[in-house]
Amino acid sequence: MPYAIKPLSCNPGTIAGMSEKIIVSHWENNYSGAVKRLNAIETQLAELDWAAAPIFVINGLKREQMVAMNSMLLHEVFFDSLGASQASAGFTAQITADFGSLDKWAAQFAAMGKAMGGGSGWVLLAWSPRDGKLVNTWAADHTGNVAGATPLLALDMYEHSYHMDFGAKAGAYVDAFMNNLNLEVASAQLLAAKGA
């Protein structure tokens, strides 16, 4: 069954400091493109003669499947991350336990995004069930999350996410993103990840 393109989960006209045009373009072109690419790869995999296919074909298709699937999933978390809202008491308590305070976590998360400016990748706040804590992690090529961890917030640092509005000023984009965090959704995702 093909993957469906999910509706845009944030209201693009209400994200302060980011244009509706860039958010809609990001959803239409990059996110939707990842879903379409994933469906095309899935079709090729379904038609593959696994016993006769050259190993480089299998390897290439499976790698591209992972890249497209993670691009789809991380973009969904990215759009869920937009829409300024407050964190729950439980989320704030977990952030404080793991980072010292919400402000200390935000400073680290934003610094990671700014350090990635001019490059490509993601900054993720993820729940690591192995350690029972939240971690900020760096991901490149849509593939680098902590194994078993659940992304709760995702900052897309590929240039397509900011260049139209900010040019080379990736730091200004990071600041706008941080001012529009949907911590209500992240709070609910944390509860779900903990199995609560």
Q: Can you give the residue range of the structural domain that contains 68?
A: 18-80
103 within domain boundaries: yes
Residue where a domain terminates, one of 59, 80, 101: 80
- Cα gap 188→174, rounded to integer Å: 23
Q: Among all chains, which residue has been given the structure tokens 């959704």?
A: 185
Domain shared by 109 and 154, yes or no? yes
Strands (DSSP E) along the chain, which ranges?
Answer: 122-128, 133-139, 150-156
Domain of 104: which CATH number? 3.55.40.20
Are both 76 and 93 inside the same structural domain?
no
The residue from 51, 80, 109 where one domain ends is 80
95 and 32 fall within a common domain? no
On whether the CB atoms of residues 26 and 53 are closer than 8 A, the answer is no
Decide if pLDDT at 50 tops 90: yes
Number of domains in the chain: 2
**Quick one: 35 and 120 in the same domain?**
no
CB-based burial of residue 41 (10 Å sphere; 0-12 exposed, 13-18 middle, 19+ buried)? buried
For residue 148, what pLDDT is reported?
Answer: 78
Do 85 and 91 touch, CB atoms closer than 8 A? Answer: no
Q: What percent of the chain has pLDDT over 70?
A: 98
**H or E stretch including 189?**
helix 183-193
pLDDT at 145 exceeding the cut of 70: yes
Read off the tokens for 85.
């809202």
Residues 48 and 102 in one domain: no
Are 74 and 94 members of one domain?
no
- Domain contains 3: no
Segment among 121-125, 140-144, 145-149 with least mean pLDDT: 140-144
Do 72 and 49 share a domain, yes or no? Answer: yes
Q: How high does pLDDT run on average in the chain?
A: 95
In a domain, 5, yes or no: no
Instruction: Output the domain CATH number for residue 23.
Output: 1.10.287.990
Query: Are 59 and 102 found together in one domain?
Result: no
pTM: 0.95
Convert the pLDDT of each residue in 87-130 to its tens digit.
Answer: 999 999 999 999 999 999 999 999 999 999 878 899 999 999 99
Structural domain contains residue 6: no
pLDDT, residue 136, reads: 97
Residue 41 falls inside a structural domain:
yes
Confidence (pLDDT) at 196 = 64
Are residues 97 and 35 part of one domain?
no
Identify the domain boundary among 60, 80, 100: 80
